[in-house]
């Protein structure tokens, strides 16, 4: 049995479709309970895993700069959220960047002991549509790909669809007359060819896959998700309670390295893109990485230009108000799978249980405080969510 008395089968029902697409928690319920050793037991340094998207840039630039704690090797590339989650829960890696809603699911559906240390980035995602799609309502009757059910991408795209009187559905053929849009999970690397052959009408995902579609001329960015939810967190820097207990100094050193890398990227985005390409951290072409990190003002009107929604941000502090609003939004989001874990949690209490911001606070202090990162000294903010 897993958290709240559910069977492992019930938890895995939320992953069946995802695993088939390379984006789900394939077998993680068993893995979460079967691990026997970890890096602390074997005396290894921290092991870091990542997905090849620009969201991972702080972890990668920190390694390139030689800032990882002693004993930590080159970060390991995983091709899907499924593989990354399995490795994390099976203690093959100790630190990763994971989707923030996914972190909530792992802690409350599987009791994984996951801890969010801070935000890896803000914004950095978009809704990319086929060239013939002129208005969001044109997606009625089509399929839209998402990278994971419990992702900010799924949450925000559903907010967008509903704001345009479209109904998101799962496991049901979309109907133009009924104004429905079928959501399907697809690994990011499969989204670009799927859009090219018109098997889907759009996809929402992290960069550089939106930039790739634009450069190749097979799609165009219709909306940046940051134009819907201002400076939202997509991926968070995560570890486990046992890693913090066993290696607090190493965790602090890695938090320091990531925060420093965020400052480095913000100071010279072009150089960061060149490093990510030249050192083969990310397999996408350098022009796509350059575009993803340095988007100019888009050719269409932004609803909130003052938010600079096209700009991926690198600010590490995890706001409690965001966590609460996120959990509330998860409760309003359609997914294919077991969502009962949400019935047993209070959105206002999740942040304190899920997040340990001690290390990031220390890191920010070591670099001069919140203002150096463009943050308010009081580390407070009000969430702004306005579907287009």
- In the structure, what pLDDT confidence band is assigned to residue 191 with cuts at 50, 70 and 90? very high
Task: State the residue for tokens 């989650």.
Answer: 85
Domains and CATH numbers, the chain: 43-123+232-373 (3.40.190.10), 125-227 (3.40.190.10)
Q: Is the pLDDT of residue 357 over 70?
A: yes
Per-residue pLDDT at 180: 98
Angle formed at CA 79 by CA 74 and CA 82, multiple of 5 degrees: 110
Per-residue pLDDT at 19: 39
Q: Is the pLDDT of residue 34 over 90?
A: no
**137 CB burial (10 A radius; 0-12, 13-18, 19+):** middle
Q: Label each residue of 22-35 as H, E or C.
A: CCCCCCHHHHHHHC
- Distant-in-sequence, close-in-space partners of 50: CB < 8 Å, separation ≥ 6: 56, 59, 60, 75, 76, 77, 78, 84, 96, 97
Higher pLDDT, 304 or 19: 304
Per-residue pLDDT at 324: 98
Whole-structure pTM value: 0.90
The enclosing H or E element of 181 equals strand 180-185
Q: Is the pLDDT of residue 170 over 60?
A: yes
Q: Is the pLDDT of residue 131 over 50?
A: yes
Separation between Cα atoms, residue 118 and residue 324, nearest integer Å: 15
- pLDDT tens digits, 250-308: 999 999 999 999 999 999 999 999 999 999 999 999 999 999 999 998 888 899 999 99
């Amino acid at each position: 049995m897993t958290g709240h008395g559910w069977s492992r089968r019930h938890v895995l029902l939320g992953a069946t479709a995802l695993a088939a697409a390379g984006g789900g928690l394939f077998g993680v319920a068993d893995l979460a309970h079967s691990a026997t050793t970890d890096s602390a037991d074997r005396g290894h340094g921290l092991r870091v895993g990542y997905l090849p998207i620009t969201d991972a840039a702080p972890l990668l630039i920190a390694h390139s700069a030689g800032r990882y704690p002693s004993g930590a090797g080159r970060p390991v590339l995983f091709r899907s959220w499924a593989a990354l989650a399995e490795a994390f829960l099976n203690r093959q890696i100790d630190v990763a960047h994971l989707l923030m809603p996914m972190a909530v699911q792992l802690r409350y559906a599987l009791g994984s002991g996951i801890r969010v240390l801070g935000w890896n980035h803000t914004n950095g995602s978009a809704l990319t549509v086929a060239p013939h799609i002129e208005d969001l309502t044109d997606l009625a009757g089509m399929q839209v790909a998402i990278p994971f059910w419990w992702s900010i991408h799924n949450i925000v795209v559903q907010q967008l669809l509903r704001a345009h009187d479209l109904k998101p559905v799962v496991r049901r053929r979309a109907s133009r007359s009924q104004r429905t849009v079928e959501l399907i999970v697809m690994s990011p690397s499969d989204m670009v060819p799927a859009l090219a052959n018109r098997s889907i009408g759009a996809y929402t995902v992290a960069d550089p896959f939106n930039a790739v579609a634009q450069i190749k001329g097979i799609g165009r960015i219709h909306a940046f998700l940051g134009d819907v939810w201002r400076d939202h967190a997509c991926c968070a820097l995560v570890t486990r309670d046992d890693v913090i207990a066993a290696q607090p100094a190493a965790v602090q050193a890695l938090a320091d390295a990531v925060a420093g890398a965020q400052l480095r990227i913000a100071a010279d985005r072009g150089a960061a893109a060149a490093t990510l390409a030249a050192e083969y951290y990310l397999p996408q072409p350098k022009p796509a990485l350059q575009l993803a990190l340095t988007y100019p003002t888009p050719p269409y009107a932004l609803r909130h230009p003052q938010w600079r929604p096209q700009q991926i941000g690198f600010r590490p502090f995890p706001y409690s108000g965001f966590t609460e609003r996120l959990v509330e939004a998860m409760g309003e989001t359609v997914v294919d799978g077991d969502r009962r874990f949400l019935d047993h949690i209070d959105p206002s209490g999740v942040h304190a249980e899920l997040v340990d911001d001690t290390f990031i606070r220390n890191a920010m202090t070591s670099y001069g405080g919140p203002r150096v990162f463009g943050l308010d000294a009081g580390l407070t903010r009000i969430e702004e969510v306005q579907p287009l």
